[in-house]
Chains A and B, each alone.
Chain A
Amino acid sequence: MYGELGNKLVQHAKRTQSLAHLPPYQAEMVRAVTREVRDLEKDRASTLESLAGSFDPSTDPATACALLVNHLCQRRNKRCMLAYHRVRSDKLEEMCWSGIDVLERQQQAGKAGESAGSLGAEVGNMSSLSPEEEEYVRQYSDLLAAYKGQWTDIDLTGSLEPPRDLFIDVRVLKDAGEIQTEYGAITLTKNSQFYVRQGDVERLIAQGYLQKLS
């Protein structure tokens, strides 16, 4: 039926909104919807051609209705496609803002899948992003970096929690090596605890190396 696939895409998008990660790109479905739109367009063209320019909707309501339904289906499919892609690109942008390296994570997931064995090999090679999306992420990160670069003092991607204290207690979850602070260098070894300036370790908290203790 017309529009059924579009509906499925939108359902996918809706589900994506509440997921933490990005599910695989539905390339097959996107292609099918595109095909549907093009078939509809062909139908429309041939109907119009058979009428040869002289068409009065009031004398032939059936054809008029067919054309209308055809057109509305095309538009609806377009809306569904846009919605699906928009939800995904929003998600990707969100990841860019929160400092997650989407592409790197994809590669890691791919490698993990490959090493899982011959069965996983095929799945592992498949990225959950489409090539277009990967390109988009790359360009958006560049754009974001450029925009951020104009506010070097502020660090736009920093925490949006209002700062309470200058210094905080943190626990080291993973070895993070040595960091430089104005009070000298600190070596962050796993399971140790420090009282440090929040601004110095914000990045590391976001990346999951440190945990803030309240």
Chain B
Amino acid sequence: MAPNMIALTGRSANSTKPGAGYPWQLRAAGIRKAFGGQTVLDGISLELQRGEVVLLRGANGSGKTTLLNVLTGNLVPDAGEIHLLTNGSSEYFRFPAKWWRTLNPFDHFSPERVCREGLGRSWQDIRLFPTLTLQDNIAVATPAQAMENPIWALLRPSRSTKREKQNLTAARKVLAELGLAGREMSSGDKVSLGQSKRVAIARAVQAGARVLFLDEPLAGLDANGVSEIMGLLRKLAQDEKMTLVIVEHVMNIRRIVDLATTVWTLKDGKLEVKNVGKKATVHRASNGHDLQSWAAELTGMRADVKNQRLPGGAILSTIAPSQDRQGEIVLKVEDLVVHRGRRLVIGIHGEDGQHRGLSFALRRGDLAILQAPNGWGKTTLLEALAGLIRPTYGRIELSGREIQGQTPWECAQAGLSLLQARDHVFPSLTVREAFRLTHVTSIPEGLTHLLNKRMSSLSGGEKQSVATACATNSGAFSVALLDEPLSALDMASLRSFGSSLRNHLKDAAVLIAVPGSLGELG
């Protein structure tokens, strides 16, 4: 059996104690990293102990992902040292490396090298292997497979088959423990977001991770997805005593609170470490925030909240100004049915065999929050409204003018603005160029320092803030459609976005789509 099966098969974690006798598993000292003259990590020192659960937080652009990338071998620091005792043996890396260590191309500080020392990671964008089955996604991670050498695969076919059978059996067992029995042969791109995130974490464990770095494991998940991932993390941390370092954005921090034993805060390139025992302390230290409280700040000044239950478990909460200030209808959707290929995404099959479409209306000044489970079709709906997908049938009116079937640029010219959840930046443009391209009239104060930076060099939160500004600060629009605009934003960006939203709501309606986890507002 592969050694990494320990964590998920319930074998006692005490049966193997890598680094036993040492107080720590990973120690880094004086880590520095700069990009183009800008120092992101400035002499960071840290220690990770076995079973520790760390919440890594910091403002947008503070270097959270950079630190994660450095500790997992994806980035080579400019200076400093990293000492690993994760795998029972001591491994020491010093930066810049001595010249003789650079001679062997297979001995560099690299993701594969660090992984073999027992450090694993999960990615914000999951990165399952899409053409492999779930079973193979797990099986491929098993370390030290002799049959990954083509000579062995040819010369010892019977042994290869036997080992492979054992490996696949172990992979199926892992999937069964994740509640994915029966989905072994589903390909990596055909499972839900929550399921793929669980498989990605299990895959890292299968690769032998004893210290696991998780980059926004809850991002984009609905309530079910969050509870599945939290269950898995709890099992890894509490039952298997794995060491976890979790980066999570502000909206989801409160969910990690139960688990965290330490909070790392990155600010101005320095790391502040706070060991916390009690939940409340962690909560305070983590400065938690959620959509409910954020929405409450906006609803507080408004009178009328209408909750419309939509088919498939979604809720459309419309927060309208008081009766006397209600504006005219700017977006009217009637009986909208949208297919992706042959799959019906928006609308339902009626008992009479006919499709029933989605209908709703937004008035000027309305803030509508669409909470829907993963896979409901939020993105499809927004893209259909914005002209990126042609609806099967139905009627869409923007300020009294029919826009269904029009091109995306015609919809934009008619006053519709769309912020997409993914791929919403032009990586080779600078922020200034992106603002010019999208005719941004007023640049938010918090983004002026980014103007000369290339979009590809921004952090996730900075990209989100810039993309949001491009969608909502670009001249006149009557309806803004924002797909998961709050993900990756820090507190300051969240407040700035909230205040910008209040300004826009004087003249327009805004529809925000988020993964459904909140219930009815009001």
A binds B: no
